[in-house]
Chains A and B, each alone.
Chain A
Amino acid sequence: MRWLKFFFRKSAIEKELNSEIRFHLDSVTQEKIDAGLPPEEARRLTMLEFGGAEQVKEECRYAHRLAFVETTLANLKAAVRFMRKSPGFSIAIILTLALGIGANSAVFSAIDAILLRPLPYPNAGELVVLHQYNRASKDSSRPIAPVRLEEWNKYNSAFQAIAGSYTQDLSETSGTVPERLAEADVTPRFLQVLGVAPELGRDFTPAEERFGGPSAVLISDRFWRRRFHADANVLGKRIRIESSSVPIVGVLPASFQFPDKDIDLWWPVPMDAPIAQNRAYTWFTGIGRMKPGITLAQARADLDTVQARLGRQFPQTDKDLAARIQSLKETIVAGSRRSLWILFGSVTLLLLIACTNIAALLLSRITERAHEISIRYSLGAGRGSIIGQFLTEALVLALAGSVVGLAVAAAGVRVFHSLAKALPRVEEITLDWRLALYTLCCAILATALCGLVPALIASRRSISSTLASHGRTQVSARASLQWTLVGVQVALAVTLLVGAGLLLRSFQELGRVSPGFDPNHVLTLRISGNYGETNDQKKMFQRMKNTVGALATVPGVESAAISATVPGAGSGFPIEIKAAGSAVSPSRKITADEKVVYGAYFETMRIPLLAGNTCKKDTLWTTAVVNRSFAETYFPNQTAIGHHLQITSFDAKPEIVGVVGDARENGLNHPAVPTFYWCSSNADPSPYFLLRVRGDPMKLANALRREIHRIEPSRSVFEMMPLSERLSESNAENRFRTLLLALFALTAISLAAIGLYGTLSYLVARRNREIGLRMALGALPSQIRARFLAQGAGVALLGCVAGLVIAAALSRLLAGMLYEVSRLDPLTYIAVATGVLVLAAAAAALPAGRAAHLDPMQILRHE
């Protein structure tokens, strides 16, 4: 493959050519001088004889170039001819590669968009999310008080700016029916931190960000198109939010989706408002941009100093508070990271299996081409050129496969888009040049994997000459390499099957778990409200009480309740509380999940009441109900009823009035933890309303809307869906992952079975003579069949064992996703092993049966 050298050493070759020709000229001249001519005359004559030195050089250069182009063209033509000769074979290979490469590219596009690419903000690596938390009570992170956020922004030295936001759902009331809008309330510097400018209009002015200043609002591109049909004169138009009319001052670009992709409008919060000076309020999720070059650790240290100073200045409120900082990208993608990498691993295994299959197929064709190869050798070809030809064939197949594979990848990308809820940043997954480049790399890798081994083996001179001359009289053929490949395929397929099996079993176990409540026939809905209402607790309570009462009277509704979180899909919110009273030792720390419910919650969710009573309907924040785990853990030898809980972050001391059964409020895969239910309706201005109905929950949708419109005409109703639908949505990612892995595993084992069948068929065909001889010498058909079956089964068994070992080692990766199923669950491993062996036996039975039915007379006569 000298043309490679030519490629890389062009200038060196030029220099060498020059000195070579010059040496020749000088030698001829010297000869003439030695013969007696004067030097200039000698030189002149030489030049005349020589003709053009440049022409000679050009011919030499041409010789090199031609060889390179000739070789490549010849190889390509030969490759295409090879493909056309056996179209079925080639198509099978191309399709297999298309599937393998396409699936790989699709998953890579997801990984690239979600995990690898930076967020779509300028210098997104500088963006961090901020919370505050109480060091003493080990609370989880909470939103930051407005005045504290301003102080952090003013006194830090590690950030360019810090801003914050919170979201609420409001009603836009300029239409006939109130329309629910998702609003983000933002501090000043919000757009500055994110580095985005409105695509139309402007950011807020300082006057609009002041208390008492003019009102203004920014809207999203989606809302602009939906409501105003992309009208360019939208600036200055007004919309009615709750009871106020506000002008639109700008439209933000479609790619801007902060704090989340459903936000319709952004409203500035006046940080100098009197109500915003309260240090105990927890309003804002902070978003900050670090200065260039500052690391997360430095930013943390800096804010720690700032907050420490504030703690000294305001000991009562700030003494134990600290800042919690995380990179923005981490908060968005961290949850899906593991799933995506596992997916990528599986799809790569699949590609490896496919390549192994193809390599085995190509190997099995070598014997047919032995004659062709030996002729090429006798014509003087170098080993390199034979290898080059085989690799070119593999490359052509791989390129064809990857072109089709791009179509597969495009379909895969569409599948990802339909999973928008399960994965973050899904809108950013596209088919672009990076993906095409990756596909090309896959093709090259596939070429190397599929083509290298057959090329190396085929180009062995010993093989080609032996096979070419003795091929027909060879009695036994070893195919140990091909069997190894089959064994490898079986091992990899078993690994995938075990993984899929464990996830499926986990799913099955989850299905068997009792959630502790009954999610069927429960309808959930939300009604818009805003945080401003929380200033008047009495009024808010009255509204909630009226709403629940009215909803309960709608025909078909059995009971109604309110909950701040969705039962069965909430996220645990553990807090530390104390139990007041002498019965419990004061030093005993109580950590429990906090839930806030109101109305007939336990009746609606069918959570059994074990002792005492459920929430009192007429009081707020004064009573609580605990679950069985709580009672047994913290009040083991007495009744919990009657004790008072002391909530450190609030002044309230609710009394425990009842004990209910354990319910898996945070999801089926989280066992019940000690939980206390605070009886109140005022945790959130827009909580979840839960209604137990007779029959199909959605049948009552219209009736409920009418009723709500009757009592609250200015509020909008949204997110109305059965509870079971909400719960299955929260399971979507898990289901998707399991389904996909199962699909890969099935494809893998099918490929392995096909490989087994193909190799054994080929072997039977090659050993026709041997079988004929054996049968003529007295072997029974059953013995012949048994031999071949044993060979196939033996390889499958070895592959299976290897696969089980690999699976056991890799099952560690699934640790967090398995529920009530050990990663070494014997049932799964045995089931997979049995299934694979049975399948292998079936795949081997056909060729073995064919071998047993051969007619020895026919075979021997063919000689």
Chain B
Amino acid sequence: MKPNDLVQGTLSLLILRILSLEPMHGWALSQRLKQMSKDVLQVGPGSLYPALHKLEQEGWVTAEWLTSETKRRVKFYSLTKEGRRQLNAQTADWKRLSGAISAIVIPARG
């Protein structure tokens, strides 16, 4: 399924969340996203890498070039302190927002 607009806007939140678990490179990140969302969210490299670079630009993630077991140089992204702060703030916002939308869209019981 292609990512829709809602997912696009929250892509940075998703990336920050996944990176908060452990540092990883772009390919692994897209795999983990697919896995954690049970295949619902699949982000192509065309959206993923620009988003990663934007986050790096803002200073919320930082990147390091490491050598993998296959002797290749791979770029690993990890969360910064500010990124962690951002994650908390945006998580809180998301909870509020999604709660409000759910309250309107999903009819209340009884």
Contacts and interface: CB of A to CB of B under 8 A. Distances in A.
A23 B25 contact: yes
Nearest to B63: A16
Nearest to A58: B50
9 contacts: A2-B57, A19-B73, A21-B45, A24-B49, A62-B50, A63-B50, A67-B58, A380-B82, A380-B86
B53 A60 contact: yes
A20 interface: yes
A60 B82 contact: no
Nearest to A379: B89
A59 B49 contact: yes
Given A2-B56, A59-B50, A60-B53, A378 B89 contact: yes
Given A51-B46, A63-B57, A380 B89 contact: yes
- The 6 residue pairs across chains A and B that have the minimum distance between CB atoms: A59-B50, A27-B27, A67-B57, A63-B53, A63-B54, A60-B53
A16 B66 CA distance: 12
Interface string A336-358: 00000000000000000000000
A6 B53 CA distance: 11
A818 to B, nearest CB: 58
Residue among B53, B54, B56, B86 with most chain A CB within 10 A: B53
Contacts of A16: 65, 75
A4 B72 CA distance: 28
A846 interface: no
Given A20-B75, A23-B27, 16 more contacts: A2-B57, A6-B57, A21-B49, A49-B44, A50-B44, A56-B49, A60-B49, A60-B53, A62-B50, A63-B53, A64-B57, A67-B54, A67-B57, A380-B60, A380-B82, A380-B86
Contacts of B85: 380
Contact of A56 (B25, B50, B56, B74): B50
Nearest to B56: A2
A382 interface: yes
A67 B65 CA distance: 23
Interface in A383-424: 384
A27 B86 CA distance: 30
Contacts of A382: 58-59, 82
Contacts of B74: 23
Nearest to A385: B59
Contacts of A21: 45, 49
A55 interface: yes
A28 interface: yes
Interface of A: 2-3, 6, 16, 19-21, 23-24, 27-28, 49-51, 55-56, 59-60, 62-64, 67, 378, 380, 382, 384
Given A378-B89, A380-B60, A50 B82 contact: no
Contact of A24 (B27, B56, B57): B27
Given A24-B26, A24-B27, A380-B86, A59 B75 contact: no
A50 B26 CA distance: 14
Contacts of B60: 380
Interface in B51-94: 53-54, 56-60, 65, 72-75, 82, 85-86, 89
Nearest to A53: B45
A28 B27 contact: yes
A60 B53 CA distance: 6
Interface string B6-45: 0000000000000000000111001000000000000011
A235 B26 CA distance: 84
Contacts of A50: 44-46
B45 A56 contact: yes
B72 A23 contact: yes
A59 B57 CA distance: 13
Nearest to B28: A27
B59 A24 contact: no
A21 B85 CA distance: 29
B46 A59 contact: yes
B44 A20 contact: no
B34 to A, nearest CB: 11
Contacts of B58: 2, 67, 380, 382
Contact of B26 (A2, A20, A64): A20
Nearest to A65: B57
Contacts of A19: 73, 75
Contacts of A23: 25-27, 72, 74-75
Residue among A19, A63, A382 with most chain B CB within 10 A: A63
A573 B45 CA distance: 90
B49 to A, nearest CB: 5
Given A63-B53, A64-B57, A382-B82, A24 B89 contact: no
Contacts of B45: 21, 24, 50, 56
Contacts of A378: 89
A27 B45 CA distance: 12
A55 B86 CA distance: 29
Contacts of B57: 2-3, 6, 63-64, 67
Nearest to B59: A382
B79 to A, nearest CB: 13
A225 B48 CA distance: 77
Contacts of A56: 45-46, 49-50
Residue among A6, A24, A49 with most chain B CB within 10 A: A24
A382 B61 CA distance: 12
A544 to B, nearest CB: 89
Contacts of A6: 57
Nearest to A28: B27
A612 to B, nearest CB: 94
A464 B57 CA distance: 24
A49 B44 CA distance: 9
A664 to B, nearest CB: 73
Contacts of A24: 26-27, 30, 45, 49
Contacts of B73: 19
Nearest to B85: A380
A365 B70 CA distance: 57
Contacts of A28: 27
B82 A55 contact: no
A60 B50 CA distance: 4
Contacts of B25: 20, 23
A429 to B, nearest CB: 48
A803 B54 CA distance: 52
Nearest to A51: B46
Contact of B44 (A3, A51, A62, A380): A51
A433 to B, nearest CB: 36
A24 B77 CA distance: 14
A174 to B, nearest CB: 81
